[in-house]
């Protein structure tokens, strides 16, 4: 990956709505060059999707969703290792992110649902029933302070009482 491609990715990661003209200005290249760089990164699937970070706490209860982190321990398949199981899990619409991790568990999932019950049903009826899934540990997300490198509610100062010795 070239230095220019890395610069484009950095700019877009910070602001997915940045214009091609602003990318060109920031990099000191022509608009045509910036446009070519972005197009190349899209075509080779380095850039897969443009997205936004939403403060879920600002949504009313009807629109809000519940998120959970789920650690999953599996028995790898002989011929495919983790890949086959990972693909079956990742296809489920509740699964937002899916990572192969080191440690006591093999996968870390970030799942989303309308409520706690929907996530619980996903774990018990969908996830646990997949062949070679050995165990899970579910952690519900109660509040988000930072997501995708963005501070949520950055205006709110976290206040702490001074501790006296």
Residues (pLDDT < 50) of the chain are: none
Residue 162: what pLDDT?
59
The token pair at 129 is 């029933």
- In sequence order, the β-bridge partners of residue 72 are 107, 136
Residue 17: what pLDDT?
93
Number of helical (H) and strand (E) elements in the chain, helices listed first: 5, 6
Count Cα neighbours of 90 within 13 Å in the Cβ-side half-sphere.
12
Domains in the chain (CATH in brackets) are 3-43 (1.10.10), 57-146 (3.30.70.920)
Task: Answer whether 116's CB lies under 8 Å from 140's CB.
Answer: yes
Helix (H) or strand (E) holding 31: helix 31-43
């Amino acid at each position: 990956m070239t230095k220019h491609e890395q610069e484009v990715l950095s700019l877009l990661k910070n602001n997915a709505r940045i214009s091609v003209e602003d990318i060109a200005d920031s990099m000191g290249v022509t608009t045509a060059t910036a446009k070519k760089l972005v197009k190349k990164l899209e075509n080779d699937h380095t850039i897969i999707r443009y997205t936004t970070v939403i403060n879920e706490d600002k949504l009313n209860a009807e629109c809000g969703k519940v998120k959970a982190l789920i650690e999953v321990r599996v028995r790898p398949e002989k011929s495919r290792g983790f890949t086959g199981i990972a693909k079956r899990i990742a296809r489920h619409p509740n699964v937002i992110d899916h990572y192969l991790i080191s440690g006591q568990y093999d996968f870390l999932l970030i799942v989303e649902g309308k409520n706690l019950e929907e996530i619980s049903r996903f774990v018990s009826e969908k996830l646990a029933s997949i062949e070679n899934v050995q165990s899970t540990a579910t952690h519900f997300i109660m509040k988000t302070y930072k997501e995708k490198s963005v501070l949520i509610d950055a205006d709110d100062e976290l206040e702490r009482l001074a501790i006296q010795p």
